[in-house]
Amino acid sequence: MDFKTLCIHGNEVKYDDTGSIIVPIFQTATFAHPGVGQSTGYDYSRVQNPTREHLEKTIARLESGFDAMAFSSGMAAITALMEMFSPGDHIIASDDLYGGSHRLFYNISAKNGLTFDLVNTSDVSQIESYIRPQTKALFIETPTNPMMQVTDIALVSRIAKSRNLLLIVDNTFLTPYFQKPIELGADIVIHSGTKYLGGHNDTLAGFLVVANDQLAERLRFIYKTTGACLSPFDSWLLIRGIKTLAVRMERQQENAYQLAQWLSRHSKVKKVYFVGLATHPDYEVSKRQSTGFGAMISFEVRDEETVKDVLERVALIQYAESLGGVESLITYPVMQTHADVPEEQREAKGINGRLLRLSVGLEAVEDLIADLEQALGV
Burial of 329 (0-12, 13-18, 19+ CB in 10 A): buried
Catalytic residue at 57?
no
Average pLDDT score over the chain: 96
State pLDDT tens for residues 316-369: 999 999 999 999 999 999 888 888 788 888 888 889 999 999 999 999 999 999
The CATH number of 3-242, from 3.40.50.1370, 3.40.640.10, 3.30.930.10, 3.30.465.10, is 3.40.640.10
Q: Among residues 195, 251, 346, 354, which one is catalytic?
A: 195
Catalytic residue at 46?
yes
Q: Among residues 4, 15, 46, 309, which one is catalytic?
A: 46
CA–CA dist 92, 95 (Å, integer): 9
pLDDT at 12 over 90: no
pLDDT at 92 over 90: yes
Of 153, 143, 176, the C-alpha closest to 2 is: 176
- pLDDT for 267: 96
Q: Among residues 61, 96, 98, 346, which one is catalytic?
A: 98
- pLDDT for 369: 98
For the segment 72-94, the average pLDDT, to the nearest whole number, is 98
State pLDDT tens for residues 144-172: 999 999 999 999 999 999 999 999 999 99
Catalytic residue at 220?
no
Kindly list the domain boundaries of the chain, sorted by start residue.
Answer: 3-242, 246-376
84: CB partners within 8 A, 6+ apart: 166, 218, 219, 222
- pLDDT for 344: 81
State pLDDT tens for residues 255-312: 999 999 999 999 999 999 999 999 999 999 999 999 999 999 999 999 999 999 999 9
Catalytic residue at 98?
yes
State pLDDT tens for residues 15-53: 988 999 999 999 999 999 999 999 999 999 999 999 999
Q: Among residues 170, 187, 234, 371, which one is catalytic?
A: 170
For the segment 105-117, the average pLDDT, to the nearest whole number, is 97
For the segment 131-140, the average pLDDT, to the nearest whole number, is 98
pTM over 0.75, yes/no: yes
The CATH number of 246-376, from 3.90.1150.10, 3.30.360.10, 3.40.640.10, 3.30.365.10, is 3.90.1150.10
Render 334-375 in DSSP notation, one character per residue: TTTTTTTS-HHHHHHHT--TTEEEEE--SS-HHHHHHHHHHH
pLDDT at 254 over 90: yes
313: CB partners within 8 A, 6+ apart: 374, 375, 377
Confidence of residue 177 (pLDDT cuts 50, 70, 90): very high
